[in-house]
A and B are shown apart, each in its own frame.
Chain A
Amino acid sequence: MSALSTPHKIFSGDIRRALLLALIDVALLLIVSAFLPQSQGFRSAELKFTDASSKGLAIVPASCPSYPYHPSEVSGSGCSGNDAYVQYGDCSIAIVRTCGYRCQAGTCLVPPPIGFAEFSATVPPSDGGGGGGGSTFTATGHLQVKPLLVRSGNKVRLYWNASNVASCTVTGTNGDSWAAVSSGASGVQSGSITGQTIYTLYCNALPDADVPYISEQQTVNIIPVFQET
């Protein structure tokens, strides 16, 4: 008998039969266990827990934040009023910022630019002379002063009507000052004009606006007095 035939003898006959039977057993075991019913699942204490309120309604607590790791991925965004927020996972939101103008779909909208709206303005009857007392006119909304030429000591009336602004002020080189986005239909009366007076309208835009402010000026002059020498 040659050496080459020895391995054949080791794995021949009974041994091969035994190995084959073992493999079949294992295979059958695997196939059967694959069809065994799965367990019904662990029923925790909170699965159906409700707690009765004093009038018998069922309060249902949750337990989302018990999970130790805060999800870092942003799952959404939105607005609540003017608060823009991002949502992490399903349980928590973080307010990103409060929008100055308006929030939409989690983003702060850029407000419309500062504008000036026309309005029907009146000059009270008491404003006589060159002021056109007792009349109405259509104001442009930009800073307007009536009249622009006055006698020393007289007063003038100012009109303006800004929109899409956070605030406005009108100041005069004579010390006059008003803080309002609109003068109102009857305008505002100045103090006495005793020399050339420059009035400046300054408006701050709404937050996030492209142009942060706007400024306009009107100059009131004194009618010269000629004196013969």
Chain B
Amino acid sequence: MLFVIATVALTSPALWQGASNIFENISYYFDPSAQRAFTYGERHFDSHDQKTYDVKRAEYFFNLAAAKDPSIQYLYHELARVSFLKGNYNRALSQIDFQISMQGDKTPNSYYVRGLIEGYMGFYDASIADYQVYLKSDPHNWAAINDYSWVLLKADRPKDAVVATDDGLKYFSDNPWLLNTNAIALYEIGDLERAREQARKALVAASGVSEKRWLTAYPGNDPRVAQEGISSFIEAARENMHTIDLALASSTIQ
């Protein structure tokens, strides 16, 4: 009987996680340190581990850590990411502002996170500035180049977006996000032929994105929704290609 119970407990993910959580709670009870809380928060904020991913529990532990020691490196960066993922952009912005004020240049990707939050909030000029700061430290990061080009497009600077994505594609020639944004930028400046070529490549590349790759592109997201994210991306690329095809056909007729 005990053997049966143990086997069921070990093979059931929910029970395993429940047991693990109980163990964490007990461990934290006996050692309620900020560092332990932060470590547990990180454990539950890992997109590549479906068993432990739990954004609510991650936020719980990050808040515990913040109450005891707000100076832990990346703590407010992580809190800002959680708030951003939950759609609470105002809180995310204040948390990342606090992170940057405390640790500034030691955590350059906090500028990236702030750029991302500002982009989602429509503060495109501020976002451009923060992405530029980040790109100085990591000039060949495809996602930073992609997102920088996104806010350039939104700030009505499509030529700059073409330049940025063209540069990124030198190193990541089959990256679907860069190809998609490059296609859009080319479309915006009226280069329909190149836009169509890039949009088609983007769709092909997007169709080959694995769950692991998607979760790397969107860290902090629940592994269980990766396939949904991929489908959404493919659909966006397909719609873009369709729109560009129509525009090109229409311009040919004229």
- Taking Cβ atoms with an 8 Å cutoff, the residues of A that contact B are 23-24, 26-27, 30-31, 33-34, 36, 38-51, 53-68, 78, 80-81, 85, 89-95
Taken residue by residue from 220 to 254, chain B's Cβ proximity to chain A (1 for < 8 Å, 0 otherwise) reads as 11111100110011001101100110000000000
B86 within 8 A of A: yes
Looking at chain B, what size class is its interface with the partner chain?
A: 35 or more
Beta-carbon contact of B216 and A66 below 8 Å: no
Beta-carbon contact of B153 and A53 below 8 Å: yes
List the B side residues contacting A38 at CB < 8 Å.
13-14, 224
Known: A47-B225, A50-B236, A85-B140. A65 touches B218 (CB 8 A): no
Beta-carbon contact of B5 and A64 below 8 Å: no
Known: A68-B74, A95-B140. A41 touches B225 (CB 8 A): yes
Chain A min CB distance to B85 (Å): 4
B91 within 8 A of A: no
**Interface majority SS on A: helix, strand, loop or mixed?**
loop
CA distance A195 to B253 in the complex (A): 78
Q: Which of B86, B170, B171, B243 contacts A56 (CB 8 A)?
A: B243
- Taking Cβ atoms with an 8 Å cutoff, the residues of B that contact A are 1-2, 4-5, 8-9, 11-15, 53, 55, 74, 77-78, 81, 84-87, 89, 107, 109, 112-113, 116, 119-120, 134, 138, 140-144, 146-147, 150, 153-154, 156, 158, 170-172, 177, 180-181, 183-184, 187-188, 213, 216-225, 228-229, 232-233, 236-237, 239-240, 243-244
Beta-carbon contact of B217 and A62 below 8 Å: yes
List the B side residues contacting A59 at CB < 8 Å.
150, 153-154, 180-181, 184
CA distance A64 to B219 in the complex (A): 6
Beta-carbon contact of B180 and A62 below 8 Å: no
Beta-carbon contact of B141 and A64 below 8 Å: yes
Counting chain A CB atoms within 10 Å of each CB, the highest count among B77, B141, B144, B213 belongs to: B141
List the A side residues contacting B220 at CB < 8 Å.
44, 63, 66-67
Chain B min CB distance to A77 (Å): 11
List the B side residues contacting A78 at CB < 8 Å.
171
Chain A min CB distance to B106 (Å): 11
Q: Which of B14, B170, B177, B225 contacts A43 (CB 8 A)?
A: B225
Instruction: Give 13 A-B contacts (CB < 8 Å), ordered by A residue.
Output: A30-B15, A38-B13, A40-B224, A42-B225, A47-B218, A47-B229, A58-B239, A61-B146, A62-B143, A64-B141, A68-B107, A80-B170, A85-B171
Chain A min CB distance to B138 (Å): 6
Beta-carbon contact of B217 and A64 below 8 Å: yes
Known: A59-B181, A65-B112. A45 touches B85 (CB 8 A): yes
CA distance A91 to B212 in the complex (A): 13
CA distance A36 to B221 in the complex (A): 23
Beta-carbon contact of A68 and B216 below 8 Å: no
Beta-carbon contact of A66 and B109 below 8 Å: yes
CA distance A93 to B167 in the complex (A): 13
Beta-carbon contact of A55 and B188 below 8 Å: yes
CA distance A67 to B143 in the complex (A): 12
CA distance A94 to B139 in the complex (A): 9
Beta-carbon contact of A45 and B224 below 8 Å: no
Beta-carbon contact of B134 and A65 below 8 Å: yes
- Specify the chain B residue showing the minimal Cβ separation from A94: B140
Chain B min CB distance to A87 (Å): 8
CA distance A56 to B243 in the complex (A): 9
List the B side residues contacting A92 at CB < 8 Å.
138, 140-142
Beta-carbon contact of B188 and A53 below 8 Å: yes
Beta-carbon contact of B181 and A60 below 8 Å: yes
- Specify the chain B residue showing the minimal Cβ separation from A41: B224
- Specify the chain A residue showing the minimal Cβ separation from B111: A65
Beta-carbon contact of B156 and A54 below 8 Å: yes
- Specify the chain A residue showing the minimal Cβ separation from B11: A34
Beta-carbon contact of B12 and A33 below 8 Å: yes
Q: Which of A27, A56, A91 contacts B141 (CB 8 A)?
A: A91
